[in-house]
Amino acid sequence: MSLFHDVGKIINRTKEVGILYETERWMCEMTGFSAFTLQPLAGAHGELTGIMLMAAYHKSKGNTQKKYVIIPDSAHGTNPASAAVAGYETISIPSNKDGGMDLEALKAVINDEIAGLMMTVPSTYGVFESNIEEIAKLIHSVDGIMYYDGANLNAVLGRCRPGDVGFDVMHINTHKTFTTPHGGGGPGSGPVGVNSKLEKFLPVSRVVKKSDGSFALNYDYPDSIGYIASFYGNFAILVRAYGYMLMLGKEGLKDTTDHAVLNANYIMAKLKGHYKLCFDRFCMHESVFSASLQAQRGVHAIDIAKYLIDQQIHPPTVYFPISVPEAIMIEPTETESKQVMDDFIAKMIAADELSKSNPAIFKEFPKTMPISRPDEVKAARDVKTSYFLPDAG
């Protein structure tokens, strides 16, 4: 089927489209938005889609002066990248000492040229922003759009809906919240939800339910930003998310959130005396430590990560968020048992002890892997890929 033949048409489809329709409805229900597109292929792709919707909105309103997207300094690097790809300049807002957005700094940059704001809730510091409604008011006062980066949705699912607290558009990383494993190179998917302000700009085609209960693809949205991906993006990932939502139900999804937050706080409390904690307050689904004390002994975050590999533990994210020196960001998720977490905690404490007694040994880790310490910068910049054709002879 050619993608472009169908513009302006409604195409009848049955079951597979029904799954997509139901998935969209579930996502609307869980986030408080009125419509979703399932096309985007990753979180970053969802961000780009969302910012394009923002741009379409401003264009339709004749807001030609809109130039800037505001992004807090705790944001993931994809946020400023997406805004820039969509044609905006970005303004960075510093965080306050509790990890939230500095409101005074935000107020100082609000003017008519602000197209919108991108915010991650909870932030990459694992901190829930307590001034969302005030921030939304400021942004809406200049007809800006509030964008919710939903990468950390698993910390609030079933407890707080972004669409209810002032956001206009969001993306979900189904590979972070709706069961597909995060990491391993994908595929992921980044569905985008919107409220009624932005709905008419959503990508085509859109799934509709007809009065007789059957499903169809509707291409007849003249204000649409067009295609953002072929067909339905990563269909199989969406089916998995659908199965996960059906299996757990609304209460079960809320339960996963509660466990993700409980687990993160358990680890935070246990490691607090051993590693420097960035924000000493109740955390959401993750907490951020700094290995700055260990670094004074010559043992850096990367060394601790390599040590953990030898202990058969997949290391947590290190050196992110970038604003925290020697960052170690720990996100156990809802699925880890107490035994697994206790084992991890014991090994983290052992790493701290070892950094006092024998810091030099860390440079030898990992010892159990076929490759020990690759030059990671060179490995990323100077990629050599090759494959072997089977010997036809």
Ligand X SMILES: *Cc1c(COP(=O)(O)O)cnc(C)c1O
CB of 95: closest distance to ligand X in angstroms?
14
> Of the candidates 42, 114, 119, 245, which one interacts with ligand X according to CB under 6 A?
42
324 neighbors 73 (Cβ within 8 angstroms): no
Which region, judged by CB under 6 A, interacts with ligand X, from 37-45, 61-69, 202-210, 348-356?
37-45
Residues paired with residue 149 on neighbouring β-strands, in sequence order:
120, 171
**Distance of alpha carbon 138 from alpha carbon 112, whole angstroms:** 11
Establish if 203 lies at the interface with ligand X (CB under 6 A). no
SS (HEC) of 155-203: HCCCCCCHHHCCCCEEEECCCCCCCCCCCCCCCCCCCEEECCCCHHHCC
Nearer to ligand X, 40 or 362 (CB): 40
- For 220, 302, 318, 346, the CA distances from 363, given in Å and listed in that order, are 61, 10, 16, 21
Within residues 104-123, the interface with ligand X by CB under 6 A covers: 120
Nearer to ligand X, 150 or 203 (CB): 150
| Of 150, 152, 139, 128, the residue nearest 197 (C-alpha) | 139
Nearer to ligand X, 48 or 299 (CB): 48
Establish if 149 lies at the interface with ligand X (CB under 6 A). yes
Establish if 50 lies at the interface with ligand X (CB under 6 A). no
Within residues 318-357, the interface with ligand X by CB under 6 A covers: none
Residues paired with residue 145 on neighbouring β-strands, in sequence order:
116
CB of 39: closest distance to ligand X in angstroms?
14
Residues 6+ apart with CB under 8 A from 353: none
> Of the candidates 40, 43, 50, 144, which one interacts with ligand X according to CB under 6 A?
43
| Contact pattern for ligand X over residues 157 through 196, marking x by CB under 6 A | ----------------x--------------x-x------
Tokens of 194: 């919107």
Q: Give the footprint of ligand X on this chain (CB under 6 A).
A: 42-44, 76, 78, 120, 124, 149, 151, 173, 188, 190
